[in-house]
Amino acid sequence: MATVHHFQVTNQQGEKVALGQYRDKVLLIVNTASQCGFTPQYQDLESIYKKYHAKGLEILAFPCNQFGGQEPGSDSEIAQFCELNYGVSFPIMKKVQVNGPEAEPFFEFLKDQARGLLKTRAIKWNFTKFLVNKDGVVVKRYAPRTKPSQFIDAIEAELALLPQNQGR
């Protein structure tokens, strides 16, 4: 069975990143944009990342300009914006497309694994979030309006299953 761990993505420096390196980690995958009404979720994401990173949480942001042209900047401009405005310290990947014929294969996989509202496959807007367990299986898809702090219980439940967190 294919999992998230079978994919490679590209970081902002143009280097391939094997997602297999995140085995035994909980992942939160988010398609992001700097000029979106949901952009303040970066603050929520960073707060969660700081609190749970040492316990095994990784957040991977994938900027996308497909929704209202809300991510027009270059990869370096996006990184600078995120750092200056939200203190983002989690990885921000190369800008991608999440829908259509040029969609990143990784997002095609995520959409197949977790459907949206009314079982739709397409990502409807920026800040759609995918929670992935330690085995690389997509656990749940969250809508753009759903703030990461609203599903902390689900994140904590997945983190509790990590070997280093059991028995605590």
CA–CA–CA angle 93, 100, 72 (5° rounding): 45
pLDDT of residue 168: 52
Q: Is residue 5 part of a domain?
A: no
Q: Is residue 20 part of a domain?
A: no
Q: CA–CA separation, 160 vs 165, rounded Å?
A: 5
Q: CA–CA separation, 150 vs 164, rounded Å?
A: 25
Catalytic annotation, pick one of 26, 29, 36, 57: 36
pLDDT of residue 141: 97
Domain that holds residue 99: 26-160
Q: What crossing angle do the helices spanning 152-160 and 41-52 adopt, rounded to 10°? A: 20
Q: Is residue 21 part of a domain?
A: no
Q: Is residue 4 part of a domain?
A: no
pLDDT in tens, the chain (168 residues): 789 999 999 999 899 999 999 999 999 999 999 999 999 999 999 999 999 999 999 999 999 999 999 999 999 999 999 999 999 999 999 999 999 999 999 999 999 999 877 778 899 999 999 999 999 999 999 999 999 999 999 999 999 999 888 765
Q: Is residue 88 part of a domain?
A: yes
Q: Which two tokens stand for residue 31?
A: 């398609």
The answer to whether 82 is a known catalytic residue is no
pLDDT of residue 167: 60
Number of separate domains in the chain? 1
Q: Is residue 166 part of a domain?
A: no
Identify the H or E element spanning 165: none
Q: CA–CA separation, 5 vs 135, rounded Å?
A: 8
Q: Which two tokens stand for residue 61?
A: 């942001």
CA–CA–CA angle 156, 123, 25 (5° rounding): 30
Q: Is residue 19 part of a domain?
A: no
Q: Is residue 7 part of a domain?
A: no
pLDDT of residue 121: 86
Which CATH number is 112's domain given?
3.40.30.10
pLDDT of residue 60: 98
